[in-house]
Amino acid sequence: MKILVTGGLGFIGSHTVVELQNKGFEVVIIDDLSNSSEKVLDGIVAITGTKPTFEKFDLKEKSKVQDFFKRHSNIAGVIHFAASKAVGESVEKPLLYYENNIGTLVYLLQELSAMQKANFIFSSSCTVYGQADIMPITENAPVKEAESPYGNTKQMGEEIIRDTCKVVPALNAIALRYFNPMGAHPSAEIGELPIGVPQNLVPFITQAGVGLREQLSVFGGDYPTPDGTCIRDYIHVVDLAKAHVVALERLIGGNNSANYEVFNVGTGTGSSVLEAIKSFERVSGKKLNYKIVDRRPGDITTAYADTTKANTVLGWKAESTLDEAMKSAWDWEQKIRN
């Protein structure tokens, strides 16, 4: 079966390509390389022994999307990662985010709507919940007004897919709302490759550990949490990748209960920023130079998943601990710096 993975050379996309190929799927990647590198293909080949088909183009070019589906009329499913994803940048450049994240989604859905049967997995985010009132967060928690244009594109994306599924019965879709992906493949052949200053905590931690950053800033030490720092649900990227494959198999097998479903993907455990730092110090044997500074605008206090629905309905469960995920991130960081 042929599966299209958009943004398949990115962090989560590349790990999902590996898991798809491990399950015997034929993978076609579309990526414009705006936030990734073609060298990632070498890592995928080193792990799986198979080179996926790769096409470099920008999904904002509607005619190229149409041409792709003419040439690949036998696509059995699409996993859609391609999107801009930096919260801060989205505040500064909202129109770029709306064009890139919404326009490309619409072009893909237009092509899928014309097919006799289509399966679609959407890369959503726990940002749709904002600061949830109750922990852990279930899929029934209200979707709150987005804190950023990035978060808004995830909310709007889900609404667009849901509205399309209502009028296109042949389209089956699952939105995976994931929490905080981290880590790297245990082979250290692929991992997170942030361009410029990392937007996420873990690559900042590992870059500080390897000496690339003089000091790690911890944004806020006065939150109403046990140690005063923000709490997040850190999930190993390989566990997250496997969730995409399980979700896709659910749709292909016709086991979905509705043609639009939503699942939280996390570990169900909240860890504070300081706990993440301690995890790094445990697995690396290094002391981190960090400093607690002022809070950062837009940061919520606490977010971790209730994973009951994913565990029982989807039949997926996170397997890796925070330390295991952190160790893989550290192994990857050391490899790329050497």
Catalytic residue set: 150
First to last CA, the chain: 38
SS3 131: coil
- Sheet containing strand 118-125, strands side by side: 53-55, 26-30, 2-6, 75-80, 118-125, 171-178, 260-265
Name the nearest CA neighbour of 202 among 184, 228, 224.
184
Residues 6+ apart with CB under 8 A from 120: 77, 78, 80, 108, 109, 112, 161, 171, 172, 173, 174, 251
Encode 59-96: b = buried (16+ Cβ within 10 Å), e = exposed: beeeeebeebbeeeeebbbbbbbbbbbbbebbeeeeee
Q: Are 28 and 2 within 8 A, CB to CB?
A: yes
Could you check whether the bond before residue 186 is cis, i.e. omega within 30 degrees of 0?
A: no
Question: 3-state SS string over 148-200?
Answer: CHHHHHHHHHHHHHHHHHHHCCCEEEEEEEECEEECCCCCCCCCCCCCCCCCC
94 vs 100: CA distance, rounded Å:
10
Structure token digits, residue 269: 């455990």
Q: Which residues contact 67 (CB under 8 A, 6 or more apart)?
A: none
For residue 169, give both structure tokens: 């019965």
- CA-nearest of 301, 323, 330, 246 to 131 is 301
